[in-house]
């Protein structure tokens, strides 16, 4: 592992229109983590992200939400890593995952993009896939995939969604505090 802060990026789309959609669950997780540490996001123009800084144990962690749409996440992710002098092996990307049922979590290091446009963009910008991912299950839905991920969570999903966001926050924290293996054993259900 390299020195420098951890950087946890919550993927999603900007604006109120997308705030409560499945595609924005990564943003929801990172925003909840900032709120739990009583930190507010501030715009960082050079990184093209809103950022907040927290401490997890003794580790410095930069929380970031890109100003861009999901499919253009790579530039802001590279920007925030560069601005804070962090390497990709200290990056945690929190993302929605349609190939996991709603409520499931998977934590991993590296891998492909599995058709996820946000991950494709990050891989292109960083020229590597070697970073941590917290894959948050939103299910596949019955119709068009884009319609599904851009739809708001249903009313009956509200309570399970709160629990899922809380568990995802715990997974980010565990990854920083305890490492990959411990976190996978705890959260990869």
DSSP letter (8 states) at residue 82 = H
Q: CA-to-CA distance for 10 and 160, rounded, in angstroms?
A: 19
Query: 84: closest CA among 26, 120, 44, 118?
Result: 44
Question: How many C-alpha atoms does 144 have within 13 Å on its Cβ side?
Answer: 4
Query: For every residue of 12-25, which 3-state class applies, written as one string?
Result: CCCCHHHCCEHHHH
User: Can 156 be counted among the known catalytic residues?
Assistant: no
Q: Which of 23, 67, 116, 148 is flagged as catalytic?
A: 23
Catalytic residues: 23
């Amino acid at each position: 592992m390299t020195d420098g802060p951890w950087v946890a990026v919550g993927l999603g789309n900007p604006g109120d229109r997308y705030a409560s959609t499945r595609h924005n669950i990564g943003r929801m997780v990172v925003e909840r983590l900032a709120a739990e540490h009583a930190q507010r996001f501030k715009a960082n123009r050079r990184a093209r992200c809103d950022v907040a800084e927290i401490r997890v144990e003794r580790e410095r962690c930069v929380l970031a939400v890109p100003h861009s749409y999901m499919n253009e996440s790579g530039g802001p992710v590279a920007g925030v890593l560069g601005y804070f002098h962090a390497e990709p092996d200290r990056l945690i990307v929190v993302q929605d995952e349609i190939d996991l049922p709603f409520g499931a979590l998977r934590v991993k290091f590296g891998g492909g993009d599995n058709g996820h446009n946000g991950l494709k963009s990050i891989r292109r910008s960083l020229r590597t896939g070697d970073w941590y991912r917290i894959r948050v299950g939103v299910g596949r839905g019955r119709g068009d995939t884009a319609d599904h991920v851009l739809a708001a969570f249903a009313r009956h999903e509200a309570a399970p969604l709160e629990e899922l966001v809380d568990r995802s926050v715990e997974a980010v924290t565990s990854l920083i505090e305890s490492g990959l293996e411990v976190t996978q054993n705890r959260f990869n259900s």
